[in-house]
Structure 1
Amino acid sequence: MGKRVSYPVEVKLKAIEMRLAGVPVKEVMETLQIRNHTQLKTWMRWHRNGESYRLAQPVGQTYTHRKGPHSQDTPSKLQAENRYLKQQIEVLKKYKELEREWYQKLY
């Protein structure tokens, strides 16, 4: 399996600009040293759909625009924390029950 390549935003924007100017895909790939033509297609799709914020995303991570943890409002953060804590309590309850069963088997 190949190693993931992270292209700078400037390269992505230049590739989009070149394609919009009518430069062939192979020439864009050779000029900017892009490994795969599907990567260029993805960037073009993002540009067409108005999702240019995705060009700055880290490799291998999918973020939704304005939906990351840093942009949540206070009630949403509290609800997420509440769900997390409830899950923790459930895990601890299950563990406690298992522990009780183990002790009963031993003694």
Structure 2
Amino acid sequence: MGESKRRYPAEVKREVLRLKWEEGWSNRSLMDAFGIKNVSQIKQWARWVQNGEEHRLRQPVGKQYTYGKGPQDSEIDRLRQQVEYYEMKEALRGKYQELERRWPRKSSSPSSSSTGKRIR
């Protein structure tokens, strides 16, 4: 049978990237030293860190977090996301109010008031 997916702790992933960037280890030597089967794995970890997604180093194998659903790195990150949410909410509120101003106003015509029915 085929071998199951290999799990690497976040500390190992960080150490691999440190050795690669700070000490100049080659991908081949890192693969041999840590038992990594494919160079694309190292490249993926590096891409996550370079894109500011270091929290993905801690995610379980096969688990892909959608934006904002994964573990947070810090309270500051959580607060940044909250600020972005409220800024977006405020922008949408302003757009809604602008649209509402453009809507035709309800007018009270003599025919509607005499029959007692409201025109919508």
TM-score range, shorter chain: 0.5 to 0.7
Query: Percent of aligned pairs with the same residue?
Result: 35
| Structure 1 residues 69 and 47: alpha-carbon distance in aligned structure 2, compared to 1, 3 A threshold | closer
| Structure 1 residues 63 and 28: alpha-carbon distance in aligned structure 2, compared to 1, 3 A threshold | same
The amino acid of 1:17's aligned partner reads: R
Aligned CA-pair RMSD: 2.4
In the comparison of the two structures, how many residue pairs are matched?
71
| Structure 1 residues 44 and 69: alpha-carbon distance in aligned structure 2, compared to 1, 3 A threshold | closer
Q: Which runs of 5+ in 2 are unaligned?
A: 72-77, 83-120
Give the helix-richer structure, 1 or 2. 1
The amino acid of 1:41's aligned partner reads: K
Counterpart check, 1:8 vs 2:12: no
SS for the counterpart of 1:40 is helix
Cα shift readout 1:4-63 (whole Å, capped 9, x = no counterpart): 111111110011001102111000111111111100000011111111000000110111
The amino acid of 1:6's aligned partner reads: R
Aligned to 2:24: 22
Bigger relative contact order (CA 8 A; separation at least 6): 1
Aligned to 1:84: none
Moved over 6 A (4+): none
Q: Distance in 1 between matches of 2:10 and 2:63?
A: 15
| Rg comparison, structure with higher value | 2
TM-score by length of 2: 0.52
